[in-house]
Amino acid sequence: MKRGKPITRFEELTPGFWREVALEPGGELIARCFACGTCTAACPVHAVDTRYNPRQLVHMILLGMRERVLSSDFIWLCSGCYTCADRCPQGVRVTDIMTAVKNIAAREGYLHPTFRQQAELVGRFGRLYEVEDFDNKKRQRLGLPPVKKTFPEVQEIFRMTGMGKYTEAAEANQP
């Protein structure tokens, strides 16, 4: 074997990892995967960046490579287009599995900084952008009604679902 290639040691595996994924919404059918590769062939992201390989990811999950999967950069490269899920002959919801894995990674402190930033914006303003007076003035000039600037109910939903905790965990893992 070529030197420098990462070797997976049996004792580093977490054999029940796929069950953990299967417990997340959308992850239920992961064990049906027979590794045909239709997902990877269908994936538009894979067509331009081969680091993102859904078949490989599902296989890594089934093998129990928990830490490698959760800490990898490439789980965040799923664009969520659902082409893989729509074409999977086994009915595996690959896109939902990626969501499940990202949700577990977030809980473990590996949330990607971009998603942390998005979560912070949505938590603060109830939408992805901070609406300023300037924006509403521009809207007015175009004959459009103003939009609300904050949503206390969304802030409450963030509290109820513990979103602050995830974003702080991600912060602690920043290099």
Q: Interface with another protein by CB under 8 A: which residues? A: 24-26, 44-45, 47-49, 52, 76-83, 85-86, 93, 95, 99-100, 102-103, 106, 111-112, 114-119, 121-122, 126-129, 131, 135, 138-139, 142-145, 147-148, 151, 153-154, 156-158, 160-163, 166-167
Alpha carbon separation from 151 to 54, 123, 128, 158, 168 (Å, rounded): 36, 9, 12, 11, 21
Min CB(20)–another protein separation in Å: 15
Task: Look up tokens 């109830």; give the residue.
Answer: 126
Toward another protein, which CB reaches closer, 17 or 52?
A: 52
Rounded (10°) CA dihedral 96, 100, 103, 107: 180
Q: How far is the CB of 124 from another protein (least distance, A)?
A: 11
Nearer to another protein, 7 or 142 (CB): 142
- Round to whole Å and give the CA distance between 92 and 38: 11
